[in-house]
Structures are given as structure tokens and as C-alpha cells.
Structure 1
Amino acid sequence: MQENEQLQLQEREKLPQVQLIRAMAIIGVVTVHATSFATIKMKTSGIYWAYNFFNIFLRMGTPTFLFLSAFVLFYGYFNRPINGKLLKNFYSRRLKFILVPYIVFSVIYFTIMHYTYYENRAFADTIDSFFDKLLHGQAYTHLYFIFINVQFYVLFPLLLMIFKRKPSWTKWGLIIGFIVQWGYILLNKYYLDIDNKASYSFFYMSNFMLGAFLGIYYPKVKEWFIICRENATRRRIIGWSVLWIFGLCAAALDIYIWYDTRMNGARYNALMFEFAWNMHTYPVALMTLQIAHFAYRNFPKWIVRFFHRLGELSFGIYLVHPLFLFYYRQYPPTATGGKIVHLWYLGGFFVAMAGSWLVVAAITRWVPGSWMLFGKVSSDTKERKRKEQKSKPGQMVFTQGSD
């Protein structure tokens, strides 16, 4: 590796933009879950296209979270020496702040589902079912995301060691990510036939490897993601345009085939859905990074603070928001059409988001041991204000959230 490139890799500044990306991702996740019933029950509505649009376009939430996990890990750990202390710290933090909340919420959701739908099930069958779902991330529909991340945490030290010894391999890692992901998809389609194929990290390997690549080389490529006049060279403008045109076109394809399938009963090869979704979510992860930089530089401070805090709470919101949706849906409107129904679905989003925000913020602030529920939640409001007071006028400073 060239000496100047090595110097760039050693520079690791704080990245408050990460919290804005988390905020965009959690908005996507909650929107998808809030509109899921509408995509089934609102097909006769004149604005069904809008339900389908938000439900499919914002499916970028989970892949973006996975991309960001790899990005933050490689960004934060790449320049640290690999030793027993690092590995012990890495796994102890994940065990404490990720695995414990996953187990706790698996118990919570499984218990709710049991007493709602399976109260008469035999005790032995209940125990067997719980451990089966726990080991496969299926205690509730959204917990597979934590299960996938845990798998990547197992792989991370090995990948980190390989890329530290052979940094040039990270460039090939982008291609390898697609090869592993699509090898798994094809193998599953024609041989394995795993029902919950999306519950395994191989299914998202292109997103993980994109995050790994950017986490390692971010100091070198950072300027490319900052869209502003002083960065607008001819080559970058072309690159930005290609990224956004490709990303939006891929998203449009993904949205269309789902609309055609849902409304018209069209039949597409399953690989078409996988391809459209992969091509949709892959560039959108890069686009959210550009949006985060733009927002951080240009949006009013109060807006940035709002979404920064949302990003800090996103893990807890991810875990708890289905509870709000579950109970909210127990009280559907009596009307079967009209504006009331649309407002009810819209209300589901706001109840899930606002309710989760308030619960997570209150518990993490006031309840001892809240990490067992929501992991390590950054609470840097006082620190941020102190630094802002010391900063230059117009300059905004944030402390970096936990990896």
C-alpha cells in the first residue's frame, strides 16, 4: 500500500452523519411495517399505488442498517491492533448490548404471540418452539435482523484480520460480496430450498462488503459523498448522476414488479424480485450517506438534532415498535373506506414511531439496567450542547455514537 494511502487510512474522524443514516433507516423500517396490512387490504383504494410505493421503496431500511453495521465496525476497528483484548472487548460488548436485548425481546414477543394465538399449546411444544425461533431469529417477524447481525459479528474478526493483512483485497471484496450473495440465492433456489433464506447473512453479503469497503477507505473517498459546489468536479457530477439515476431506476423497477404482482396477479421469476431488490437497496445505501452529509451541512440545527436523536434511539425503536403496531391494529376503524381508513393507517406509523421513541428515551434515561432492553443508547445531549457552546459560530459538533 502506498504511504500516502496508509496515512489516509489512519485518519479516523467522528462521523455524526451516521446517526442521520440510522434515522433514515428506522423511518424506512417503521413505514414498511406500518403499511404491510394496507398492501393486502387496500387494493380497491384509488391510492393503492401510494401504499405500494412507500412499502417497497422504503424497504431500504434493513439493508441500510446492515451496510451501516459493517461500515461502522471497519471504520472504527481497522486501525486497531488485533489482539486478545480487542476481541474480548468486541464480543463482550456485542453479547451485552446486542444479544441480551435480542433474547429479552424474543421472550417478550413469543409470550405475546403464545397467549394471543397458542394458549392451549402443550408446554413441551411451547418450549421447543421458543428455542427453535430464538435460534433462527423468528420469535417475531423483525427479529431476524438482529440474528443476521450476530452472524456478521462472528465473521467480522476474521474479515478484519484478512483485510488488515491484505488491504488491496477489500476492493475485490465488493465483487466477492455479490458472488457470495448470489451464489447463496441460486443455491437455495435450485438445491437448498430454505424457507427463511433472508435470515442468514449470506443473503446480504453485498451490503456488508460495501460497508466494509467504505469503512476502510472512507477517509480517502469522503469528499465524493459531500455534494457541494466546491466538490463538484466534472467526474464527480457524472458519478453522482449515475448513482442517483441508477438507484432511482432500480427502485422504480422494484416498486413496479411488486405493484404488478399485487394488483394484477402478474407472475415473475423469484430471481427477478431478488435482483430488483438488490439493485434497489445497494445504491440507496450510498445515497443515504450523501443525503446525511448534505443535511448535516445545510439543514437547520434543530432538524439535524431531531434526526440525530432519532438515530441514537433507532436500535431500541426497531425492537419495540412492532408492539405498538400489534396493539394499535386491535382497534381498526369501523368504516371500510374513505379518508378515515387512510388516516388510521397513517396513524399507525406515528403511533409506532412516537410511542417507541418516548418509551425508549424514558427507559434509557430513568430505568437502571435499561441496556438489557435497548442495548447501549448514546445520550450525549448535554455533551453536545457543551461542545456547541465552545465551537465557532455556525459550526455544529456531535459526539460519535456507539459502534
Structure 2
Amino acid sequence: MGTATTPLRRDNIPQLQIVRALCIIAVLCVHSTSFATLNMKESGYFFAYNFVNIFMKYGTPSFIFLSSFVLFYNYYERPMTKELVGGFYRKRLKYILVPYFMFSVMYYIISYILNNRDLGVIETLQHFGIQLLTGKAWTHLYFVFINSQFYLFFPIALLLLKSSRTLLKWSVPIGLAIQWGFVFMNKFYWQVKYPGSWMFSYMSYFMLGAFLGSFFPQIKEWIIASRENATVPRVIFWVVLWAAWLTAALSHVNIYYQSRLYGTSYNTTLYEFLWNAHTYLGTVVLLQIAFFVYRHCSPVLVKWISQLGALSFGIYLIHPFFNLIYRNFPPTTGNSMLIHLWYVGGFFFALIPSWIVVSLVIRYVPFSWMIFGNSPARKPKAQTG
């Protein structure tokens, strides 16, 4: 696989922590409004709940894109050695799969108790094993399951894209072709029960991350929207990008509004297309927003947002626990304003306690990596490979 040489490292990109923060905020927004989209259809503010719930669905696919971007940014120029691949898998096992296992156990126990299951020891272990291997011990853990598939695939993808510059240049249409090939084959032939739990449903994001991560030093002037980078072709690209993204996002929001409120029926392919266009274009928009925030917002705000991004994996893992607690205390009043405040409070009750717990555990608990993975306290450049 090549001789061992000194690894080539690229410059750190602190703005990626801001992207992570925007992603975890989006995930919490979606989860905190999920019940409202079912229970608040008679409210005059249903449009707002639906808007937040759909507009913020960029969180999970953007996390996948970002994971790929970081991997290819850090590994593409480094020689492909056994030590490199071995180190890659050790880090994923230690910082991703171990926390995933710990939280799968925790959530499975909670689910077991809440659902009053009465299984024998062998049956329980078998049932848990299936849940663990499919990312279904709790609803949000499918994301780690999908990422684990990409981690298995990454060295193969890296080897292929390093072997052919032409293949790398075509990685964006290749990713779209694989994803949409899977969509249509599954719709008309395979009919996989949970297509969203397989990496092929997110291949366009992974390959976009591969392309941008590998070429970022050469194309960053096209991504970073600033006065210094402004040329006529780049400004046209930025305007078209934002216009296409907003059109896709608002159309995505609208079909769910019509479907949820009026029962309007649409072809499932339209849902898939608008979700893909909205979140796919949004990955580049998020990068642009992150660079803008990093450059123009106050250092204090940037520091807080960056900390949120650095802790986002741990917050992602634990926040459903606080959602569960909060939803056990619904408002008993008929006052509509208090009901709206209760739904808003669900977001903050998921965010703030999760943020505090993850911060304290990482700072004071030995072997905290077993619970929340890697942390900036152990590794200042948290987004390296």
C-alpha cells in the first residue's frame, strides 16, 4: 500500500466547528417540533412549526457531508499505508463505535422498561443485538449506523479516488448517480424496508464531501463568499447557488405543509428530490455561512458556537434522553401561548442540559471518550482525521 513517509497535513479549518454547530441546532429543531407537526394542525402557527421541522432537515445529511469532507481533506494528500488505514479504524472504533455501543445499551434499557417487555435473557440479548447492528436501539442512532457504513467504505473510496484524478473530478455526478440509482431501484424493484438506514441513500453527500475536501485548497475562493474572492463568475455562482437552495428548501417546506394540513398527495419521488436538492445545496451554503460568521461575528459568539460544534457528537447522542423527560410534562392549560412556549422550551431543554452534561463529563470524568467520543480537551484540532 506504499512505503511509510511523514504524513502530509493541511491547515486546520476552525470554521467547520461552526458548521457542526449549525447542524446540531438543526437536529434539535427537527426533534423538538416533531410532535407539534402532529398536534398543532388547528393552530394558526402550524405553518411555523412545519417550516422549522422541514427547513431544518439539513442536519443529518450535512453531518454526513462534513464527515466525508474532513476525512478527504485530511487523508487525500497523505500516502496510503497500512499504518494510516489501521490508525483510521482504531480512531473510529474508539471514538465512534464505543460511545455508540454505550448509548445503544442505555437507550435499549430505557425502551425495554417503557415498553414493558418481558423477554428471557437470551431473547433480550438477541433482540438487542439486532437493534445494535441496525442502529435502531433509539430513533436517532441510525445516523451513527450510516456513518459506520461510510467508515468501512472510506479506505476503498480513498484508494480509488487517489488512483485516478479523473475519477475524483467526476465524484459529484457519480455520487448523485449511485444515490438516485438506489432510490429508483428500491422504489420499483428492491423495496428495502428502511432505505434511509443505508449509506446509498446519502451517497451524493459523501461524494460531494470527497470532492470538496480533496480539492478545497484549490477551490476555496469559490466557496468562501467575500469581497476579496468576488469575481463575476464566482458572484454568479453564489447567486445561483442561494437561489436554487432557497427554491428547493421552500418547495420542500410547502409540499409537507400541503400534505400535513390538507392531505394533498404527491409522488414519493418528489419528496425525495426536494429533500435531496434542499439539503445537498445547503451543505455548500452552510460552509459559506460558517466562514461569514467566523469572520464577521464577535470572537465571544464564535467561541461559543465553536464549542457547541466541538461537542456536537456528544450532544447528538444524549439529547433524546432530555427530550424524553421533557415530553413527560406536557402543559395542562388551554392557553395557546403557554403551549407554544412549551414547544419552544423543548428545544432549549434538549440543548442546554445536553451541552452542560457533555462539557462536564469530558472535563472531569476519566475515560470520557467511552461515552462521548473525542473531545477538544484531548485534541485541540477537533476536526482532524
- Runs of 4+ deviating beyond 4 Å: none
1:400 Cα deviation after fit? 5.0
1:125 Cα deviation after fit? 3.3
Find the residue that maps to 2:170 and give its secondary structure: helix
Within 5 Å, give how 1:265-284 maps onto structure 2. Answer: 265-284=263-282
Find the residue that maps to 1:229 and give its secondary structure: coil
Distance in 1 (CA, whole Å) between partners of 2:197 and 2:134 is 7
Distance in 1 (CA, whole Å) between partners of 2:384 and 2:84 is 16
Q: Which residue of 1 aligns with 2:341?
A: 343
Q: Which residue of 2 aligns with 1:3?
A: none
Q: Which residue of 2 aligns with 1:371?
A: 369
Shift in alpha-carbon separation, 1:336–1:180, aligned structure 2, 3 A: farther
Q: Which residue of 2 aligns with 1:311?
A: 309
Distance in 2 (CA, whole Å) between partners of 1:400 and 1:232 is 30
8 A contact 2:74–2:384 mirrored in 1: no
Match of 2:56 among 52, 55, 58: 58
Within 5 Å, give how 1:103-252 maps onto structure 2. Answer: 103-252=101-250
8 A contact 1:364–1:370 mirrored in 2: yes
Distance in 2 (CA, whole Å) between partners of 1:48 and 1:339 is 13
8 A contact 2:80–2:159 mirrored in 1: yes
Instruction: Return the TM-score normalized by structure 1.
Output: 0.91
Amino acid at match of 1:180: I
Q: Which residue of 2 aligns with 1:7?
A: none
Q: Deviations over 1:175-234 (max 9, x none)?
A: 111111011111111122222110110000000000000010000111112222222211
Q: Bigger shift: 64-73 or 173-182?
A: 173-182
Find the residue that maps to 1:205 and give its secondary structure: helix
8 A contact 1:225–1:293 mirrored in 2: no
Find the residue that maps to 1:142 and give its secondary structure: helix
RMSD: 1.4
Q: Which residue of 1 aligns with 2:5?
A: none
Amino acid at match of 1:164: K
Q: Bigger shift: 114-123 or 174-183?
A: 114-123
Distance in 1 (CA, whole Å) between partners of 2:109 and 2:32 is 22
Amino acid at match of 2:37: T
Q: Which residue of 2 aligns with 1:386?
A: none
Distance in 2 (CA, whole Å) between partners of 1:380 and 1:121 is 41
Q: Which residue of 1 aligns with 2:77?
A: 79
Find the residue that maps to 2:57 and give its secondary structure: helix
1:97 Cα deviation after fit? 0.5
Q: Which residue of 1 aligns with 2:4?
A: none
Shift in alpha-carbon separation, 1:97–1:11, aligned structure 2, 3 A: closer
Amino acid at match of 2:351: M
Amino acid at match of 2:304: F
Amino acid at match of 2:21: A
Amino acid at match of 1:230: E
Q: Deviations over 1:349-382 (max 9, x none)?
A: 001000100000000000001111110111289x
Distance in 2 (CA, whole Å) between partners of 1:129 and 1:257 is 37
1:328 Cα deviation after fit? 0.7
8 A contact 1:178–1:205 mirrored in 2: yes
1:169 Cα deviation after fit? 0.9
Identity %: 48
* Structure 1 unpaired stretches of 5+: 1-9, 384-398
Shift in alpha-carbon separation, 1:122–1:262, aligned structure 2, 3 A: farther
The answer to whether structure 1 residue 401 and structure 2 residue 383 are counterparts is yes
Q: Which residue of 2 aligns with 1:259?
A: 257
Distance in 2 (CA, whole Å) between partners of 1:130 and 1:182 is 32
Match of 1:296 among 294, 297, 308: 294
Distance in 2 (CA, whole Å) between partners of 1:259 and 1:380 is 45
Distance in 2 (CA, whole Å) between partners of 1:401 and 1:64 is 15
* Structure 2 unpaired stretches of 5+: 1-7
Distance in 1 (CA, whole Å) between partners of 2:224 and 2:113 is 51
Find the residue that maps to 2:236 and give its secondary structure: helix
Distance in 1 (CA, whole Å) between partners of 2:266 and 2:92 is 40
Find the residue that maps to 2:329 and give its secondary structure: coil
Distance in 2 (CA, whole Å) between partners of 1:103 and 1:284 is 31
Shift in alpha-carbon separation, 1:224–1:33, aligned structure 2, 3 A: same
Q: Which residue of 2 aligns with 1:93?
A: 91
1:72 Cα deviation after fit? 0.1
1:11 Cα deviation after fit? 7.6
8 A contact 1:247–1:283 mirrored in 2: yes
1:337 Cα deviation after fit? 4.6
Q: Bigger shift: 140-149 or 180-189?
A: 180-189
1:321 Cα deviation after fit? 0.3
Q: Deviations over 1:54-79 (max 9, x none)?
A: 00000000000000000000000011
1:168 Cα deviation after fit? 2.0
8 A contact 1:15–1:400 mirrored in 2: no
Shift in alpha-carbon separation, 1:402–1:376, aligned structure 2, 3 A: farther
